[in-house]
Amino acid sequence: MELRGKVAIVTGGGTGIGRAVCLRLAGAGAKAVVINYSRSADEAEATAAEVSSSGSQALAHRANIADEAMVKVMIATTVDRFGGLDVLVNNAGTTHFVAHPDLDGLTEEVWSDILSVNLKGTFYCCRAAAPELRKAKGVIVNVASIAGHRGSGSSIAYAVSKAGVLQLTRSLAVALAPDVRVNSVSPGLVSSRWFKQRFGEDAGSAQEQSFASETPLGVVATPDHVAQAVMAMIEADQVTGQDLVVDGGLNVKYP
């Protein structure tokens, strides 16, 4: 897909992977980028300013994607302001850290929080955007996780939610064909703010270095590495229903 003149929405677009995707879309000539956020208002506005400085129009829009009514308003606002919608990147996500053997730690609240955002929220965005994306012959890219492929991740509930995103991607690729392509990317460990907040600056850096030493490429992915993969899935006109793993090759070494 040629991105010049296109309109995109990136959920969770103010920070990390979402921010990197927004900046790459702007750099590729997108007409407008809508930066969705739920809580990170300052970061979303800062990302919008960066997008604008690259020559694209930008809008920071608050919506909790677990709330379908808010999602519908976001889509309608985008279409009203920019004239359509061509690209949807479902990046927003949440988790709870629960050790996998701790089954009792997977409370109803944990399941509800994670599935409502990661799986149901992703679906709400796809469903609300589908009519406009059909008109535009557009594309959806869902950000899943290597945890959706393996028995790993911050919790079982998180892993299950991301496995659901992978199946949702495959199912929507069929349901929305031939008008809309639907793909996903599955990051492994990504060097990001939340990782260091979770483990502490020093411990986080040490864990990153340990992880990097295990990967064939010898590096930990950055948000921009994942954004590269998202852009590849947007631009690959003959690819749909597929997932691209971004983990430095670790999944090949330890399938």
Catalytic residues: 158
Beta bridge partners of 26: none
Cα separation, 187 vs 247, whole angstroms: 6
In a 10 Å sphere around its CB, with 0-12 CB exposed, 13-18 middle and 19+ buried, how is residue 100 labelled? middle
Q: Is 241 left (phi over 0), alpha (psi -120 to 50) or beta?
A: left
Q: Is there a contact between 144 and 166 (Cβ–Cβ < 8 Å)? A: yes
Nearest one of 169, 170, 145, 141 to 159, comparing CA atoms: 145
Calculate ∠ Cα 56-122-131, nearest 5°: 65
Crossing angle (nearest 10°) for helices 68-82 and 122-136: 30
Beta bridge partners of 245: 186
